[in-house]
Chains A and B, each alone.
Chain A
Amino acid sequence: MLVKVLSAAHCGLDTIGIVVEINMAARGLPVFDIVGLPSKAVAESKERVRTAILNSDIEFPQRRIIVNLAPADLPKEGSCYDLPIAVGVVSMVMNFEVPKDSLFFGELSLEGTVRHTKGTLLAALYAREEGIKNIFVPQDSANEAAVVDGISVFGVKNLNQLLAHILGQVLIAPAQYKDNKPALNHDAEFDMSEIAGQTQAKRAIEIAAAGGHNCLMVGSPGAGKTMLARALAGILPMLTERESLEVTKIYSVAGRIAAGGSLVKLRPFRSPHHTISQAGITGGGSIPQPGEISLAHRGVLFLDEFNEFPRSVVEALRQPMEDGTLTISRSREQVSYPSRFMLVASANPCPCGYLRHPSRACVCSAREVEKYRKRISGPILDRIDLHVDVPVVDVEELARNAEMKKLQESSFAIRERVIRARRLQDTRFADDTICANAEMKNRHIGKYCRLSPQAKQILLRSSSRFALSARSYFKVIKVARTIADLVSEKEISCEHIAEALRYRPKLKEEL
């Protein structure tokens, strides 16, 4: 007797249909085996399935049962095949037909309940693409799958409930998508208004958020670099619908959507420690998992103590920063993960950290400082649009200053401006492949950045006076474009260029 049940496997963010074939032989010694390149987790599935069936008060047949996961040459990984296998076996025991046009996806626990399983969203997307009408998933994962419209998503609590549904006794209602109350940006660790002073750095952060620009902050320990970066999370606009789906897919595959979780609405903010390995940042492993740069997709990758990161890790950022996607090749497979993130880095001005500190003496020689700065990779610096110094300020004095308080805007007010600027960019790049000013290539700059005559003149003068490289020259224009967007102006004026010049790379000018 042979039964076929549909399921799905993931290869990076691609989904491949899997046909789970279950055969119960009429003759032969009792055995229960899985073939079709199962990994350890899949091979152990037979023990879970057997126990779950028994614990659901269903008889497990003492027959020769072979399960094949077709296509047989694709390595199978994960625990999502428990449910289809169990359904197939039980259908033979209880003599019912496995529902047509249905996909089963989920992990079983020993007591017969169906557990939250990673990758459910992708399975649901695959079902819609293939025209499969019903999908049975764990109840805890049903909400993330219910985002996909046009199919019926059934959240299954346990095997018995599923049986009752299939036998038509008690039907499971298709899951309706519910937006969880998004943990709003307002809950970001710091509000911009809490940071005393640092007006320039705050403005830089605002511009970075508005145009998706990469940003480097240089300053002594305690100047507030980390606080600024964390406050950045609070002024980012929410993900657009398209972006939200992209990000949720990555998080679903990585198993980072909580049980009952909905779409990811907030822009991710990732801040890995500098002891991170190369595989940790780019993703990898024998079954490639998304790394930090993919988890930061459409959000922020914050690298605190940038000079302390191993060179191999920093250099690995280059290609994904350029292409917005990263391909991991392994001998068995090759997967791509999107990685369009905004890099925010912070660094000390010198090895001891106190160069130009108002009250502490720096103990580094000029040579040590130079060597320290050279540790930041040149090609990466070239890809950073905004460079800003974060000097140590007398926080107590500023906090007392009533006028300074008036200047300290709340994250909410800043976010309103950022959202407006982003909207302008959405319309500007509607027909293009890019979606933020920072992503503009030279041809886009020619097309979208009209400079006023004075602005052009200022730019030319400054490029010789400040020895701007060709790359920096274009970076200034890109930043000026964002500054103009913040005030909703079409043409880039001389003031916009001048302000953008404040954030040019200065590391090499000094000393």
Chain B
Amino acid sequence: MCHAIRIIYSMTKIIEINDKRYPKLLKRIPDAPKRLYYKGEWGKEIFTHCLAVVGSRRMTRYGKDCTQAIVTAAAQAGLTIVSGFMYGIDATAHQAAVDAGGKTIAAMPCGIDVIHPDYQDKLYQAILDTGGLIVSEYPADTPPFRAHFPRRNCIVAGLSQATLVVEAALKSGSLITARLTREYKRELFAVPGPVNNVTSQGTLKLIREGAQMALSHQEILGFYGIEGQAIRRKQQEAISPLEKKIIVALTFGPMEIDELILRVKVTIDQLSSTLSLMELNGFIREEGGKYSLNMEGLGHVG
């Protein structure tokens, strides 16, 4: 592992396996960690409904959208999102949970004082600030080793009633987590993806082998027996006919300005300024010259 690491020293807090507060679900797995090092406020309710969300480091746009959509709804419904703090799907899941005002647990492949990868230090802090937990079975300043990753996956799968795999290649850590989930007799969800994509091969294989298909947050909330809150609809602001047109055009999927301009038929200066205002209102977003709809924007499809 060539990634740089960052170390933050702090008072180490430990929970032993015979402690009353040790999570019951985790205790049930065959090779449960003897002790857990943690950061954050340890509370019982954070472990009540845990959903593991894992996936590829090489996340696609599709994977990111799915993760954000499902995690946002799940976190708002009160589920704790558990993941492995790696970049890609993991980090997106943590971030979405934080943004949705939910709680999230990061299981680290290193000591809890080590931030790995180091550039996710803001996320690390955000998890703690929003009442989440950083946990690890290794002493506080242990650097990340390759051998730690599968053990970390045990904690992720072991803490949760269900695991959701968003994107995974055929040989990947996410599939290890999926295997563990089955071994622990927990529920396994997978998000189907395009059949010609490397990062969909793993999830498609899982589905063929019997994993539940997760098409939206509904399946997952149904499993936990939680009534999904209807997606919070903000009071709909009046939007202009051009904005409406743009939103309708974007329901066909993310598109570049050229395609958009052909669909809505206005001049580039008009379109640019309207897009900025819509971005400002949170209806749409732009990445690398491609525009796509946000949840807020979807509300206006009508």
Enumerate chain A interface residues (CB-CB to B < 8 A). 197-200, 202-203, 218-219, 349, 355-356, 361, 365-367, 370, 388-391, 393, 398, 401, 403-404, 407, 458, 461-462, 465-466, 483, 487, 494-499, 501-502, 506, 510
For the complex of A and B, the 7 pairs showing the least CB-CB separation, nearest first, are A389-B289, A391-B289, A498-B273, A197-B258, A498-B276, A499-B273, A356-B288
A–B Cβ pairs within 8 angstroms, 23 of them: A203-B268, A203-B272, A218-B288, A355-B288, A366-B57, A366-B88, A367-B3, A367-B119, A370-B119, A388-B289, A389-B289, A390-B289, A391-B290, A393-B256, A398-B258, A458-B277, A483-B269, A494-B273, A495-B269, A495-B270, A498-B280, A502-B275, A510-B288
B247-284 interface mask toward A, CB cutoff 8 Å, 1 = contact, 0 = none?
00000000011100110010011101111110110000
Using Cβ atoms and an 8 Å threshold, which residues of chain A touch B289?
A: 200, 219, 388-391
> Do residues A199 and B257 form an inter-chain contact, with CB atoms below 8 A?
yes
Tell me whether A199 and B258 are in contact in the complex, defined as CB-CB below 8 angstroms, given that A465-B280, A498-B274, A502-B276 are known contacts.
yes
> Do residues A356 and B61 form an inter-chain contact, with CB atoms below 8 A?
yes
Identify which of B3, B57, B288 contacts A389 (C-beta below 8 A): B288
How distant is the Cα of A251 from the Cα of B262 in the complex, in angstroms?
Answer: 45
Tell me whether A404 and B258 are in contact in the complex, defined as CB-CB below 8 angstroms, given that A391-B290, A458-B280, A499-B272 are known contacts.
yes
Identify which of A200, A365, A466 contacts B257 (C-beta below 8 A): A200
Using Cβ atoms and an 8 Å threshold, which residues of chain B touch A199?
A: 257-258, 261, 268
Using Cβ atoms and an 8 Å threshold, which residues of chain B touch A496?
A: 273
> Do residues A200 and B277 form an inter-chain contact, with CB atoms below 8 A?
no
Shortest beta-carbon distance, A416 to chain B, in Å? Answer: 16
> Do residues A499 and B269 form an inter-chain contact, with CB atoms below 8 A?
yes
Using Cβ atoms and an 8 Å threshold, which residues of chain B touch A367?
A: 3, 87, 117, 119
The residue on B at minimum CB distance from A366 is B87
Chain B's interface size range is 20 to 34
How distant is the Cα of A202 from the Cα of B271 in the complex, in angstroms?
Answer: 14
> Do residues A404 and B273 form an inter-chain contact, with CB atoms below 8 A?
no
Using Cβ atoms and an 8 Å threshold, which residues of chain A touch B3?
A: 367
The residue on A at minimum CB distance from B288 is A356
The residue on A at minimum CB distance from B269 is A499
Shortest beta-carbon distance, A41 to chain B, in Å? Answer: 53
The residue on B at minimum CB distance from A198 is B258
Q: Does B286 contact A (CB under 8 A)?
A: yes
Task: Give 8 A-B pairs besides A356-B287, A401-B262, A465-B280 with Cβ atoms closer than 8 angstroms.
Answer: A361-B198, A367-B117, A404-B258, A495-B269, A498-B272, A498-B280, A499-B269, A499-B272
Using Cβ atoms and an 8 Å threshold, which residues of chain A touch B88?
A: 366
Tell me whether A462 and B280 are in contact in the complex, defined as CB-CB below 8 angstroms, given that A356-B287, A499-B269, A502-B275 are known contacts.
yes
> Do residues A404 and B119 form an inter-chain contact, with CB atoms below 8 A?
no
Identify which of B261, B265, B276 contacts A499 (C-beta below 8 A): B276
The residue on A at minimum CB distance from B260 is A199
> Do residues B119 and A203 form an inter-chain contact, with CB atoms below 8 A?
no
How distant is the Cα of A403 from the Cα of B264 in the complex, in angstroms?
Answer: 12
Using Cβ atoms and an 8 Å threshold, which residues of chain B touch A487?
A: 269
Shortest beta-carbon distance, B94 to chain A, in Å? Answer: 14
B286-302 interface mask toward A, CB cutoff 8 Å, 1 = contact, 0 = none?
11111000000000000
The residue on A at minimum CB distance from B198 is A361
Using Cβ atoms and an 8 Å threshold, which residues of chain B touch A219?
A: 288-289
- Among B117, B276, B280, B287, chain A packs the most CB atoms within 10 A around the CB of B276
Shortest beta-carbon distance, A11 to chain B, in Å? Answer: 48
Using Cβ atoms and an 8 Å threshold, which residues of chain B touch A361?
A: 198
Identify which of A398, A404, A506 contacts B286 (C-beta below 8 A): A506
Using Cβ atoms and an 8 Å threshold, which residues of chain B touch A200?
A: 257, 268, 272, 289
> Do residues A356 and B290 form an inter-chain contact, with CB atoms below 8 A?
yes
Using Cβ atoms and an 8 Å threshold, which residues of chain B touch A510?
A: 287-288
Using Cβ atoms and an 8 Å threshold, which residues of chain A touch B256?
A: 197, 391, 393
Using Cβ atoms and an 8 Å threshold, which residues of chain B touch A404?
A: 258, 262
- Among B58, B198, B256, B270, chain A packs the most CB atoms within 10 A around the CB of B256
How distant is the Cα of A506 from the Cα of B279 in the complex, in angstroms?
Answer: 13
B68-90 interface mask toward A, CB cutoff 8 Å, 1 = contact, 0 = none?
00000000000000000001100
> Do residues A407 and B287 form an inter-chain contact, with CB atoms below 8 A?
no
- Among B257, B265, B269, B289, chain A packs the most CB atoms within 10 A around the CB of B289
Using Cβ atoms and an 8 Å threshold, which residues of chain B touch A495?
A: 269-270, 273
Shortest beta-carbon distance, A123 to chain B, in Å? Answer: 49
Using Cβ atoms and an 8 Å threshold, which residues of chain B touch A465?
A: 280
Using Cβ atoms and an 8 Å threshold, which residues of chain B touch A403?
A: 262, 265
- Among A404, A497, A498, chain B packs the most CB atoms within 10 A around the CB of A498
Tell me whether A365 and B57 are in contact in the complex, defined as CB-CB below 8 angstroms, given that A200-B257, A496-B273 are known contacts.
yes
Using Cβ atoms and an 8 Å threshold, which residues of chain A touch B261?
A: 199, 407
Shortest beta-carbon distance, A495 to chain B, in Å? Answer: 4
Shortest beta-carbon distance, B296 to chain A, in Å? Answer: 13
The residue on B at minimum CB distance from A207 is B269
How distant is the Cα of A483 from the Cα of B276 in the complex, in angstroms?
Answer: 15
Using Cβ atoms and an 8 Å threshold, which residues of chain A touch B198?
A: 361
Using Cβ atoms and an 8 Å threshold, which residues of chain A touch B274?
A: 498
How distant is the Cα of A458 from the Cα of B273 in the complex, in angstroms?
Answer: 11
Of residues 97 through 135 on chain B, the ones whose CB sits less than 8 Å from some CB of chain A are 117, 119
The residue on B at minimum CB distance from A401 is B262
How distant is the Cα of A461 from the Cα of B277 in the complex, in angstroms?
Answer: 10
> Do residues B87 and A203 form an inter-chain contact, with CB atoms below 8 A?
no
Shortest beta-carbon distance, A425 to chain B, in Å? Answer: 18
Shortest beta-carbon distance, B196 to chain A, in Å? Answer: 11
Shortest beta-carbon distance, A353 to chain B, in Å? Answer: 12
Using Cβ atoms and an 8 Å threshold, which residues of chain A touch B290?
A: 356, 391
How distant is the Cα of A497 from the Cα of B277 in the complex, in angstroms?
Answer: 10
Shortest beta-carbon distance, A360 to chain B, in Å? Answer: 12
How distant is the Cα of A29 from the Cα of B272 in the complex, in angstroms?
Answer: 83
How distant is the Cα of A502 from the Cα of B273 in the complex, in angstroms?
Answer: 7
Using Cβ atoms and an 8 Å threshold, which residues of chain B touch A389?
A: 286, 288-289
The residue on A at minimum CB distance from B270 is A495
Shortest beta-carbon distance, A111 to chain B, in Å? Answer: 61
The residue on A at minimum CB distance from B57 is A365
Shortest beta-carbon distance, A482 to chain B, in Å? Answer: 12
How distant is the Cα of A203 from the Cα of B272 in the complex, in angstroms?
Answer: 10
Shortest beta-carbon distance, A85 to chain B, in Å? Answer: 62
How distant is the Cα of A416 from the Cα of B198 in the complex, in angstroms?
Answer: 50
Shortest beta-carbon distance, A64 to chain B, in Å? Answer: 76
Shortest beta-carbon distance, A31 to chain B, in Å? Answer: 72
Using Cβ atoms and an 8 Å threshold, which residues of chain A touch B275?
A: 502
Using Cβ atoms and an 8 Å threshold, which residues of chain A touch B262?
A: 401, 403-404
Using Cβ atoms and an 8 Å threshold, which residues of chain A touch B286?
A: 389, 506
Using Cβ atoms and an 8 Å threshold, which residues of chain B touch A497?
A: 273
Shortest beta-carbon distance, A60 to chain B, in Å? Answer: 71
How distant is the Cα of A510 from the Cα of B92 in the complex, in angstroms?
Answer: 13
How distant is the Cα of A256 from the Cα of B279 in the complex, in angstroms?
Answer: 49
The residue on A at minimum CB distance from B275 is A502
Using Cβ atoms and an 8 Å threshold, which residues of chain A touch B270?
A: 495
The residue on A at minimum CB distance from B261 is A199
How distant is the Cα of A202 from the Cα of B3 in the complex, in angstroms?
Answer: 39
How distant is the Cα of A197 from the Cα of B256 in the complex, in angstroms?
Answer: 10
How distant is the Cα of A461 from the Cα of B258 in the complex, in angstroms?
Answer: 28
How distant is the Cα of A390 from the Cα of B258 in the complex, in angstroms?
Answer: 11
Shortest beta-carbon distance, B267 to chain A, in Å? Answer: 8
Shortest beta-carbon distance, A459 to chain B, in Å? Answer: 10
